[in-house]
Amino acid sequence: ESAEINATRTEVIANTQDAVWTLAKAIDACLTDNISLKSYSEPDESGFVVFQEGDRFRDLLRNISFAGVSGYVQMQADGTREPRFDIMNFVRDAVSDRFRFTTVGKWEKTKKLQMNGKTIHWHGGGTCIPQGIQDHCRQTLQVLVPQTFEPYIHLQISGKGNDRFAGWLIDVFKYMASGCFDSNNYIFTQWNGTWDEMLAELRHHHSKYDMALAPIAMTRDRMSGVYFTRNVRTVSYGSAVLRYRTTANGLWQFFSPFRWDVWLIIVIFFFVS
C-alpha cells in the first residue's frame, strides 16, 4: 500500500478513537451531573427521536478537552474541534527506497506553526530550494488572498500590510518563503469576489498576479485554467436519509422490490414470450 493510504488510515483511526473518547467523556459528565440519558421525546413527524436533555449534553461536549491520540482535543464554542494540522513531507526512504510521509511540523490555532527542525526535501530529493523558485526570489510576488475562511485564512484587524493576514495557509506560506524571500518580496492582495472569479482574474491577468493562496477545491474546470499544488486535504461528502418501511414483513414481502405495474409487465412478457 502507498504511504499516502497508510498515513490517511492512521489519521482516521486516531481521530475515530478521539471522537469515541469525546463522547464517552461527555456521557460521564452527564452521569456526574445526574442528567438522565434515558429521557427521550416522542418521535417527530420525520421519525426522528429528540433527546430532551440535548442542550445540556451539547454544552458538556463543548467543554471537553484532553490529550488525545491525534493530538490535543479542545472543542470550540460552535461545537467543532479546535483545528490542528500536521505538516508532512513526502520523501523517499533511503533504506526501503519507497516514498513515505514524514512529519516536519504541526499547526494549531492557538500555538500557530511549530516546525520540529527536520530537513525538508524538495521535489527531486534535494534539500536546497530548486533553481526555478530561486529565480522568482528576485522579483516581488503578487499573491491573491480571499476573504476570511477559518482556519485557513483570516484577517487581523490590528495588522498592517502582509501582517493583516493570518491562518494555517498564511503561516505555512510565510515559513516556506522565509528561505527564499523576505517580507518585502511578496504582497498579499485581498480578493472580495468568489473563488471562481479569483481564478479567472489569475488566469486572465497573469502579468499582474503570480498566484492565489486559498483552500480551493480542485475541479476539472478549475484545473484547466490554472496550476494547482498537490492537494493538502481530501474531503468525502455523504448524505443520510430516513428509510421508510413501505410493507410489513410477511408472506408477500418478496413482491416489494418492484411496483405492481412492473410485476404486471413481467407477467405479461412471460406469457407472450
What is the chain's alpha carbon radius of gyration, rounded to the nearest angstrom?
A: 27
Q: What is the pLDDT of residues 27-45, one digit of tens each?
A: 888 888 887 766 566 666 6
By 3-state DSSP, what share of the chain in percent is helix, strand and coil, each rounded to 5? Answer: 35, 20, 50
- Amino acid identity for residue 143 in this structure: V
Q: How far is CA 219 from CA 141, 152, 153, in A?
A: 25, 19, 21
Q: What is the pLDDT of residues 156-200, one digit of tens each?
A: 877 788 888 988 889 988 888 776 665 568 889 999 988 889 999
Residue 130 near residue 137 (C-beta atoms within 8 A): no
Most confident residue range from 115-119, 124-128, 160-164: 160-164
Residue (of 129, 89, 112) closest to 171 by Cα position:
112
Evaluate if residue 232 carries a pLDDT over 70: no
Distance CA 84, CA 73 (A): 9
* Rounded percentage of the chain residues whose pLDDT exceeds 70: 74
Residue (of 64, 54, 65, 70) closest to 15 by Cα position:
70
CA dihedral 187, 190, 195, 200 (to 10 degrees): -60
Query: Which residue is it, cell 490542528?
Result: 84
Residue (of 53, 56, 58) closest to 75 by Cα position:
58
- Amino acid identity for residue 111 in this structure: K
Q: What's residue 49's pLDDT? A: 65
Neighbours of 168 (CB within 10 A): 23
Evaluate if residue 5 carries a pLDDT over 70: no
Distance CA 38, CA 251 (A): 36
- 28: cell is 460521564
Least confident range from 71-85, 91-105, 121-135, 151-165: namely 121-135
